[in-house]
Structure 1
Amino acid sequence: MASPGNGSESQSIPNKKQPAHGDHSHHLFSSSFRSSSPLANEVIARDLEACPDVDDDDDDDATIRGDDAEGSESSDGTPGPTLYRRPSGIAYGATRPALSLGPAGLDEQPILSQAERARSREAERSLLRDNHILPPKHHPSQQPRGPVASLYKRIFSTKVPRRAPDEEDPIDESTSLLGEDRGRPGAPEHHHENLNSQWEAAVAAGQIKTTWQREAKTIAVYSRSLILTFVLQYSLQVTSIFAVGRLGTVELGAVSLASMTATITCNAPVQGLATSLDTLCAQAYGSGHKKLVGLQMQRMIYFLLLLLIPISAIYMNSEAILLAVGIQAPSAKLASIYLKIMLFGVPANMIFEAGKRFVQAQGLFHATTYVLLVAAPTNIFLSWYFVWYLQWGFKGAPLAIVITQNMLPTLLCLYVWRVEGSEAWGGFRRAAFKNWGPMIRLAIPGMVMVVAEWLAFEILTLACGRLGVATLAAQSIVMTVAATTFQLPFPMSIAGSTRVANLIGAKLVDAAKTSAKVTVAGGIIIGLFNVTLVSVFRYQIPYLFTNDPEVTEIVANVLPLVAVMQLFDGMAAVSHGLLRGIGRQEFGGYANLAIYYIVAVPLSFWFAFGWGWELKGLWFGVTIGLCLVMIVEYVFIWLSDWNLIVKEAELRNSSG
């Protein structure tokens, strides 16, 4: 979310023999997640001591550290490009995807590839053209436009309107670098070695503006691949619900119960612990020690595999545990069967989560998308084949997921081996069994934040188990609908976070505010779309999962409330993304946790059991909580001093 997390633009490449040491003036809970974390530097220093062979000066590293390296200085001594960031810290694949409190968008991030650097250069040129500082890319046509073409250009053009001559900024020692013929069609466009000077002069003179059209286009481009990736991985869970929903009410509720148990006991802890790699792998790659990225991944995999012992104990005794918390016997028995089969996919899930961070640290986010483009359709086919064609019934659904989960790390390894990313793999090393302390210190807070956020929603499913089989089945459908619609605003929040942090890092305060407003507008539009979709089809949606009249009636009664919640949920996702974009994500994390557990969950139980509203009461409490989260975070963003945020970002980047 990010989520399309953020990369760095103005980071200087540290000396290869000495990892960079960030100088942060505060030690908040979230500061340990940042890529310049002292803990991350400590890990790299120890690993270099234990594995001196990873610090070789090969040709590739020398090339990257040349004039085309991200973050390096050009021949004239000016900083490298500033307008490209890559998303990071994204945890997805469960009902509530999460954007970890990983590397802040305003801090130092790993070096970019030459292709990414080229995109950054082009982004700078494009903004300079739109502000009439560089000449247009193409000569404007001399032929008169028709009314339709003129209207289209007026609405969708990304050009900043020209100001009147008396409003032009005075030419001084800053703007003189831009040249007297700036913005004139046919004027020579400066080569990239002068682009830094042009860009810095334009920023210093306050001449770089943006339009809502440009920001809307940028955020849409950032979002589209993320939405695809989120939907594909979430489909692994949704397919099971579709596959077994028509087997019966008990089966439908058991799938939801088993998924909730798996999320709390396995998926959330694994994803939360793996967020430490967002810092460790990013710092290793950014400091030029590529092979340490593979070492960090190995270390995390071995650590996660140790969790198989407690997870296996929970899954094997899940029926007794569920019965002890008040779940009815038929649902508890089927959920236990589901979890015992799912246990065979847990190791692969752990390896994939670590592997995902391995490729993300190298900027290869599309690798996961390609893997899911193969795995997700396979999962759909296997679910149908096992559950319905072979008539294996309920057991076929988790078996299909297990096979798919084992495919994910296999396909990812094949991609790294045969396509790209293998340069960060240094082979299996004994050092992976050492130096776990700093990694665990980074991993535990990440796990706490992710588990705490997901737990608030999964508690609803556990509570529904006490309300009866039909209510539990209805909760399975409602939760699936809410989680599916959430896959739209959440990727957009990551895109907005990336773009805002991008512009803040480039010292463009007004442009960052414009981008933030566009992101909020996009969140409102998506929220209203989800509200309309769920409201209009509230009687049809239940029949996609079941034909049971009691379950469909419960779902139809709750969906109007869930529809209203979609607006608050989407807007809260956007606000949390914007907080991350301005480097204030710790406030959002604490606000979410406080409101979920002090307001939302207690209200949910009060309405559900005290007032007898049952499932509607559970979701009413969550709706109130999300509304409060949205209000608190937007007020905080509105009152924040964005100029101070820019200065803090500049200070962190320079000290890094």
Structure 2
Amino acid sequence: MDTPLLVDNNGVAVEKPLNVVQRFGFESKKLWRIAGPAILTSLCQYSLGAVTQTFTGLVDELDLAAFAVENCVIAGFAFGVMLGMGSALETLCGQAYGAGQVRKLGVYMQRSWVILFTTALILTPIYIWSAPILRLVGQTAEISEAAGKFAILMIPQMFAYALNFPIQKFLQSQRKVLVMLWISALVLVLHIFFSWLFISKLGWGLTGAAITLNSSWWLIVIIQFLYVVITKSDGAWSGFTWLAFVDLFAFVKLSLASAVMLCLEFWYLMILVVITGRLPNPLVPVDAISVCMNINGWDAMIAIGFNAAISVRVSNELGAGDFKAARFSVWVVSITSVSIGIIVMIVVLATKDYFPYLFTSSVAVANETTKLAVLLGFTAVLNSLQPVLSGVAVGAGWQHIVAYVNIGCYYVVGLPAGIILGFTFGFGAEGIWSGLIGGMALQTIILIIITSITNWRKEAEQAESRVRKWGGSIANE
């Protein structure tokens, strides 16, 4: 029997690896070509907020708390909705690209723009009325007022999200991740300089933070869009079309399922900040939690990079009908991501007495952050696998299933457990976070079981049907 052949990126025929180790290495190369730039892109984009928070925290404790609450609660809410609805493109664009239906990608992106821009308009009142909303959920009047004023200044960022996420999913599904990386890295360099200038040097505080964040996100959107228009993205972009308004109802259904799935995940840790704000003398605990969430966010960006990679790999392979390759990709990325999560946990525990001072000059905040470091380490390990399994769900189109799992594990089990431990048993922020970790662990276990028992052959057949169904009347010339 002849050895199966594959064609590499240069068009040269190579032998297909036969044993598990060779197959693992071969698949790892495919994953890292996507995951490496995707991770760095996510880190660069996350760093926009993290850098601004760092400059803000070194100036004033109240500004730090206000920034953290707005960034985690208000902007975090909008980010989750926008990213969730935009992630429908990971399923549709990824499977269409795998099936060779490249022209559909540009229309899918424009449909997503219409839906997300409309969603941003609907969410705008939350930004405008964020101060009373924050007071309603238990934040102090002082923090709520400061965060509310800052939220109004950050409305432009939300509309940047509405355009940015569809463009990124569009490029990501075609594996054009290096383009996204270079754009994000360039903007980050400019962002660091202007954050220092406006916040530290000129002393503009939260106003300076708003100017730099809004400008940076819109700069990313503009450069990415120019790249798509100028290059035509290998035929995936053929200009604006009225087809963007066709079959919107069906598209909205998948977008909403994606949004619910991801929002339930994003809001879960966001709630940690809200609940902590109800503790006695909350300023120090909220600041400490915000520092930990900052570190957790950096780690989560690594997992989100793998989330993007596995979503592309699974959707492409299912779209091409190769269910065995899709299944093997899941195992490879899971093992890789968990290994990195363990390394992050070790680093956090080894530096728990030092890293808090990178984000605050307050000894009280630093000491409280050190106490939370163990929980941060465990969260890093869970966060290394959970987003990967969610990426598998997006790539395969299981969003509605994961949404139900998230509701049960996060809000029926984890959240009540955190409230009981934090308030009833008096463990404070550590108790609240411990309960939430329990919910995350349960959700991860259930997703592992679902992934393990999946009939991947059937998933490939459904992907073929989905490409035909969601293509609408788009011509395939």
For Structure 1 versus Structure 2, the TM-score category normalised by the shorter chain is: 0.7 to 0.9
Do the aligned residues in 1 keep the contact of 2:258 with 2:399 (CA within 8 Å)?
no
Alignment of 1:492-503 (within 5 A): 492-495=306-309
1:559 aligns with 2:373: yes
Alignment of 1:83-102 (within 5 A): none
Q: Which residue of 2 aligns with 1:609?
A: 423
- Tell me the amino acid that sits aligned with residue 133 of structure 2: I
1:119 aligns with 2:19: no
Do the aligned residues in 2 keep the contact of 1:219 with 1:499 (CA within 8 Å)?
yes
Alignment of 1:89-488 (within 5 A): 119=9, 125-128=13-16, 130-131=17-18, 160=19, 210-278=22-90, 288=101, 290=103, 293-360=105-172, 362-421=174-233, 423-429=235-241, 432=244, 436-467=248-279, 468-488=282-302
Do the aligned residues in 2 keep the contact of 1:82 with 1:502 (CA within 8 Å)?
no
Q: What is the TM-score with the length of structure 2 in the denominator? A: 0.84
Do the aligned residues in 2 keep the contact of 1:82 with 1:120 (CA within 8 Å)?
no
Unaligned ranges ≥5, structure 2:
469-477
Do the aligned residues in 2 keep the contact of 1:576 with 1:588 (CA within 8 Å)?
yes
Following superposition, the deviation at residue 594 of structure 1 comes to 1.7
- Tell me the amino acid that sits aligned with residue 36 of structure 2: R
Label 1:362 to 1:209 Cα distance change in 2 as closer, same or farther (>3 A): closer
Label 1:368 to 1:471 Cα distance change in 2 as closer, same or farther (>3 A): same
- Tell me the amino acid that sits aligned with residue 153 of structure 2: I
SS in 2 for 1:126: strand
Following superposition, the deviation at residue 562 of structure 1 comes to 1.6
Supply the distance in 2 between the matched residues of 1:652 and 1:305 (Cα, whole angstroms).
27
Do the aligned residues in 2 keep the contact of 1:579 with 1:585 (CA within 8 Å)?
yes
- Tell me the amino acid that sits aligned with residue 472 of structure 1: V
Q: Which residue of 1 aligns with 2:407?
A: 593
Corresponding residue to 1:532 among 339, 343, 346: 346
- Give CA deviations for 1:171-218 in whole Å, capped at 9, x if unaligned: xxxxxxxxxxxxxxxxxxxxxxxxxxxxxxxxxxxxx98444444444
Do the aligned residues in 2 keep the contact of 1:253 with 1:473 (CA within 8 Å)?
yes
Do the aligned residues in 2 keep the contact of 1:387 with 1:393 (CA within 8 Å)?
yes
Do the aligned residues in 2 keep the contact of 1:253 with 1:474 (CA within 8 Å)?
no
- Give CA deviations for 1:476-518 in whole Å, capped at 9, x if unaligned: 1011111211222342355456557777877685x77766554
Label 1:302 to 1:216 Cα distance change in 2 as closer, same or farther (>3 A): closer
Supply the distance in 2 between the matched residues of 1:82 and 1:532 (Cα, whole angstroms).
41
Q: What is the TM-score with the length of structure 1 in the denominator? A: 0.63
Do the aligned residues in 1 keep the contact of 2:48 with 2:191 (CA within 8 Å)?
yes
Q: Which residue of 1 aligns with 2:474?
A: none
- Give CA deviations for 1:69-128 in whole Å, capped at 9, x if unaligned: xxxxxxxxxxxx997xxxxxxxxxxxxxxxxxxxxxxxxxxxxxxxxx863965xx4343
Label 1:437 to 1:609 Cα distance change in 2 as closer, same or farther (>3 A): same
Following superposition, the deviation at residue 564 of structure 1 comes to 2.2
- Which is richer in helix? 2
Do the aligned residues in 2 keep the contact of 1:82 with 1:506 (CA within 8 Å)?
no
1:544 aligns with 2:358: yes
Do the aligned residues in 2 keep the contact of 1:471 with 1:615 (CA within 8 Å)?
yes
Label 1:411 to 1:422 Cα distance change in 2 as closer, same or farther (>3 A): farther
1:649 aligns with 2:460: yes
Supply the distance in 2 between the matched residues of 1:550 and 1:399 (Cα, whole angstroms).
30
Do the aligned residues in 2 keep the contact of 1:247 with 1:394 (CA within 8 Å)?
no
Q: Which residue of 2 aligns with 1:37?
A: none
The number of residue pairs the alignment matches comes to: 460
Supply the distance in 2 between the matched residues of 1:346 and 1:652 (Cα, whole angstroms).
32
Following superposition, the deviation at residue 342 of structure 1 comes to 0.8
Supply the distance in 1 between the matched residues of 2:135 and 2:27 (Cα, whole angstroms).
52
Do the aligned residues in 2 keep the contact of 1:299 with 1:436 (CA within 8 Å)?
yes
SS in 1 for 2:360: coil
Label 1:496 to 1:410 Cα distance change in 2 as closer, same or farther (>3 A): closer
Label 1:431 to 1:631 Cα distance change in 2 as closer, same or farther (>3 A): closer
**Which range moved further: 484-493 or 354-363?**
354-363
- Identical aligned pairs, as a percentage? 25
Following superposition, the deviation at residue 556 of structure 1 comes to 0.6
Supply the distance in 1 between the matched residues of 2:108 and 2:326 (Cα, whole angstroms).
34
Do the aligned residues in 1 keep the contact of 2:91 with 2:311 (CA within 8 Å)?
no
- Give CA deviations for 1:268-327 in whole Å, capped at 9, x if unaligned: 22222223444565677767583x654444444344333444433222222222222221
SS in 1 for 2:352: coil
Following superposition, the deviation at residue 403 of structure 1 comes to 0.9
Unaligned ranges ≥5, structure 1:
1-80, 84-116, 132-159, 161-207
Superposed CA RMSD in Å reads 3.4
Following superposition, the deviation at residue 637 of structure 1 comes to 4.2
Supply the distance in 2 between the matched residues of 1:374 and 1:443 (Cα, whole angstroms).
30
Do the aligned residues in 1 keep the contact of 2:82 with 2:116 (CA within 8 Å)?
yes
Supply the distance in 2 between the matched residues of 1:308 and 1:245 (Cα, whole angstroms).
29
Do the aligned residues in 2 keep the contact of 1:278 with 1:357 (CA within 8 Å)?
yes
Q: Which residue of 2 aligns with 1:139?
A: none
Supply the distance in 2 between the matched residues of 1:497 and 1:284 (Cα, whole angstroms).
13
Following superposition, the deviation at residue 575 of structure 1 comes to 4.3
Supply the distance in 2 between the matched residues of 1:486 and 1:300 (Cα, whole angstroms).
25
Label 1:258 to 1:438 Cα distance change in 2 as closer, same or farther (>3 A): same
- Give CA deviations for 1:634-654 in whole Å, capped at 9, x if unaligned: 34444x27xx53366368659
Do the aligned residues in 1 keep the contact of 2:110 with 2:244 (CA within 8 Å)?
yes
Following superposition, the deviation at residue 379 of structure 1 comes to 1.4
Supply the distance in 1 between the matched residues of 2:160 and 2:323 (Cα, whole angstroms).
43
Higher alpha-carbon Rg = 1
- Tell me the amino acid that sits aligned with residue 465 of structure 1: G
- Tell me the amino acid that sits aligned with residue 326 of structure 1: G
Following superposition, the deviation at residue 552 of structure 1 comes to 1.0
- Tell me the amino acid that sits aligned with residue 126 of structure 1: V
- Tell me the amino acid that sits aligned with residue 351 of structure 1: L
SS in 1 for 2:156: helix
Following superposition, the deviation at residue 363 of structure 1 comes to 4.6
Supply the distance in 2 between the matched residues of 1:582 and 1:308 (Cα, whole angstroms).
27
- Give CA deviations for 1:50-75 in whole Å, capped at 9, x if unaligned: xxxxxxxxxxxxxxxxxxxxxxxxxx
Do the aligned residues in 1 keep the contact of 2:396 with 2:463 (CA within 8 Å)?
no
Do the aligned residues in 2 keep the contact of 1:579 with 1:588 (CA within 8 Å)?
yes
- Give CA deviations for 1:542-584 in whole Å, capped at 9, x if unaligned: 1011111211111110111221232233233444455667776
Supply the distance in 1 between the matched residues of 2:414 and 2:420 (Cα, whole angstroms).
10
Label 1:626 to 1:126 Cα distance change in 2 as closer, same or farther (>3 A): farther
Do the aligned residues in 1 keep the contact of 2:55 with 2:199 (CA within 8 Å)?
yes
